[in-house]
Structure 1
Amino acid sequence: MTPVWVNHIENGLINPFDRGVAYGDGVFATMRTASTDMTAGVLFLDGHLCRLQQSCERLGIEWCPSDLLIQQLNQLAKQYPQHCIKLLLTRGVGGRGYQAPINTNVTEVVSVHAIPDHYHDWQQSGIALASSPISLGRQPLLAGMKHLNRLEQVLIKSQPLPLTHQDWLVFDCDGNVIESSIANIFVINNNQVFTPAITHAGVSGVMREIMIDTLLCHGIAVMATQLTLSDIKAAEHIFITNSLFGIIDVTAIDDFQFSRWTQTSRFRHVLSVNLSL
């Protein structure tokens, strides 16, 4: 049984009138806990909490992480090394209509999950992406947030992948490359790194922001810009990032092959995101 707490109550229940259930009115984060051979804790916890708070502000949800919540997350990190902790926030219980009540109490849901075993294999071997036939809509008011309205991703994941590919490359409805279905994407050409600008669609992951800062600190130029499939296919190297598997090389997109970046292992070590079995 998945360990779960609702407002700090173990195996607590969510009110059926919660706005997260009714409208997807909320945000969430998936965070990785450190390995047993590292200092116990949630990796990049401050970044996750900061993004959640910023997203809540954008949605008009009053929330900040309490000392009790932070204590719970840190305790779970000690109890469950190299696991995923999911923190989900909703605006709380509301009425039947879209209009949010003036006074609401945020619902906090914390759950613990195993990290998929194949993520370790992906780190070692890289993965291939296939172009998704389903595009993302463009909505600048929601772009970047990891909000609870994930029906686009559900539809994308409902499509059968080619047997030789492990994930989808996702575009917006104007044909711009945005992300993979589960990660942000980086393209390397002429010793410069490019990543899609998350201004109208997609999620700006915590690991994406950390990767950008780390590359800049190591003297590697990074540009957030619009990218097309042609730009991607012209790349020398490609990698993807998320908070659970860290950094993974992309070895192919559709029928185009790419060599693995020689710096991937180095930056996994720098950021302490190597996975062990």
Structure 2
Amino acid sequence: MLSWVDGRPAELLSVRDRGLAYGDGLFETVAVRGGRPALLERHLARLAEGCARLGLPYDATVLRDELLAFSRQLGEGVAKLILTRGDGLRGYAPPQPAVVRRLLLGGARPAYPAEHAEQGVRLFPCATRLAEQPLLAGLKHLNRLEQVLARSEWQDDEHAEGLMQDASGRVIEGVFSNLFLLKGGVLLTPDLSRCGVAGVMRAELLAQADALGVPCEVRDIDLAELLSADEVFLCNSLYGVWPVRRLQGRDWPVGPLTRKLQAIARDLLDC
């Protein structure tokens, strides 16, 4: 694994780092193809929003330059960029001023089975619910225990992803994916203003669908509406689009809009 700390090759981290102690930070998982980071500007835009909300200093030039240099060295695979508030003393009070620590970890591209994209995946209905916290909603912050618990609910090979709902029962997302459904010609994706991660591929597909003239809505969705959809698919910035073929006894075909957006996502991730 390739690893940098604050722009230099390193594998050690201070035990006083607030990312370790409190999950005080953000991260991005970036596909790297041919030495280039995919969807770079969308990743940087989400980081900028996250830093503004958490009160972390943000330097777009440094982050862009480091991601580009790291990606050239990695060549092919996945770059994980982590920003923490740096070192701190005991206690929740953040250090003033904060000195942001930048971590870059590079690894191989995930070896997902080809049938996930070709035939679709089966969703596991997770019992773990997402807590509602509008101050953190949409951000890819370091507190991922809800996803850890949800992913531990199944160990079989039949389910490639899990469906997560919020405390009120609204459908939100997959454990590591965003969710879309097509119903009556309208492309729907859940509102993430209370909880969930606003993925960069989700943002890109909404823009692409709009450019294609497909009506899009971001709003609350309940389980009954999901189960009555015409097409359902998942997306993230590593695998692109996976059709959903089954959830709780409901089966879906792989629909034409899913295939069209899947092809667009594949092109985006090929850099």
TM-score class, shorter-chain normalisation, is: over 0.9
CA positional deviation for 1:119? 5.2
| Distance in 2 (alpha carbons) for counterparts of 1:3 and 1:178 | 33
SS in 2 for 1:133: strand
1:77 counterpart (65, 71, 87): 71
Does the alignment pair 1:157 with 2:156?
A: no
Find out whether 1:61 has 2:56 as its counterpart. yes
Unmatched tracts of structure 2, length 5 or more: none
- The 3-state SS of whatever aligns with 2:137 is coil
Per-residue CA shift, 1:180-232, capped at 9, x if unaligned?
Answer: 10100001011111100001110000111111011001100110111111011
| Structure 1 counterpart of 2:227, from 227, 233, 244 | 233
Give 1:240 deviation, angstroms: 0.7
Identity percentage of aligned residues: 32
Aligned partner of 1:3 in structure 2 is 2
1:49 aligns with 2:44: yes
Q: Secondary structure at the match of 1:85?
A: strand
Structure 1 stretch displaced more, 205-214 or 40-49: 40-49
2:143 and 2:4 map into 1 onto residues whose CA distance is 21
What TM-score, normalized by structure 2, do the two folds share?
0.94
What does residue 197 of structure 1 align with? 191
Q: Aligned runs of 1:200-219 on 2, under 5 Å?
A: 200-219=194-213
Q: What is aligned with 1:222?
A: 216
Code of the residue aligned with 2:138 in structure 1: it is G
CA contact (8 A) 1:130 1:165 kept: yes
Inter-partner Cα distance in structure 1 for 2:15 and 2:264: 44
Asked if the contact 1:161/1:167 (under 8 Å) is kept, the reply is no
Partner amino acid, structure 1, of 2:17: D
The runs of at least 4 consecutive aligned structure 1 residues that moved more than 6 Å come to none
Query: How big is the shift at 1:136?
Result: 0.7
Q: Give CA deviations for 1:233-275 in whole Å, capped at 9, x if unaligned.
A: 0011101110001111011112110111213333333341467
Which residue of structure 2 aligns with residue 33 of structure 1? 32
Higher strand proportion (structure 1 or 2) = 2
1:131 partnered with 2:125: yes
| TM-score normalised by structure 1 residue count | 0.92
Q: Secondary structure at the match of 1:13?
A: coil
Is 1:16 the counterpart of 2:15 in the alignment? yes
Shift, 1:126, TM fit: 1.3
Contact 2:130 2:166 in 1 (8 A): yes
